[in-house]
Chain A
Amino acid sequence: MTERFNSLRAGSDGRSVHDVGGLAFGPIDREEHDLALWEKRVDAMMRALGSPTKRAFTVDAMRRMIESYSEQQYDATDYYEKWVRALRNLLLEQEIFTAAELDAKIDNVRAAFIAEGRGASHEAVPHDTGKGVAP
């Protein structure tokens, strides 16, 4: 099992990359944001896999994975991007599936999208256009 310690934030006196309370990051954005469909799916997958019946990983392991991202990665990714990367990394780390199996599945899904004319690309993320839908 790969154990990665937290990445440190440069010039922050040894703080982990996520541990920014009190550092100069400007005002906090207090707006509520609508979630994209893929973000809701990531949320559901994370909760299902961490549930007492599945226990694929702990919420603490998810935090540890996110805290191991480099400062550059950490600052460049938004909330659910951090989650989906952690999800992938933890499932690989815990050997729930292999990288080859994941790549093959992604290829299958992409091919299916293209066959349906849904214009899948490497960047395409299905977006929930319904505003205000209850989670």
Chain B
Amino acid sequence: MSRTASARAQRFNIGDRVRIDSRPSAGHCRSPSYLRGQEGTVTAIHGRFRNPEQLAYMKPGLPEVTLYKVRLQQTHIWQEYAGFSGDEIEVDIYEHWLLPAGHA
């Protein structure tokens, strides 16, 4: 990866509130359905990786896409959540599946 590419600004930063897109997917996809449409907070930026949705079909998966760690509240995801009210889930989501929070 060139210095220019590695320095490319990612769309979101740590602490940003984001929404996981709720669009459907036809092929291999790393965004689980039960989290689509849910909102959370970016807690880490893992770096840029080849797109698994393309790699799954033996394509190069380029350009690389930024992968984020997103933290969500369990009580927001499950209506009848029976665990502790502060329980969280952290999930790795690629940038093209994230929108700013509040986005329809």
Contacts and interface: CB of A to CB of B under 8 A. Distances in A.
Interface of A: 1, 3, 5-6, 14-16, 19, 21-22, 57-58, 60-61, 63-64, 67, 94
Interface of B is mostly: loop
A15 B52 CA distance: 18
Interface of A is mostly: loop
Interface residues of B, number: 19
Contact of A67 (B24, B28, B58, B77): B28
Interface of B: 24-29, 32-35, 52-53, 55-58, 61, 77-78
Contacts of A58: 55-56, 58
The 5 A-B pairs of least Cβ separation, nearest first, read: A64-B56, A21-B34, A60-B56, A22-B34, A60-B55
Contact of B56 (A1, A21, A63): A63
Contacts of B52: 60, 63
B28 A3 contact: no
Given A16-B25, A22-B78, A61 B56 contact: yes
Contact of B57 (A15, A16, A64): A64
27 contacts: A1-B58, A3-B57, A5-B27, A6-B25, A6-B27, A14-B24, A15-B33, A16-B25, A16-B33, A19-B32, A19-B33, A21-B32, A21-B33, A21-B35, A22-B34, A22-B77, A57-B58, A58-B55, A58-B56, A60-B28, A60-B53, A60-B61, A61-B55, A63-B56, A64-B27, A64-B56, A94-B58
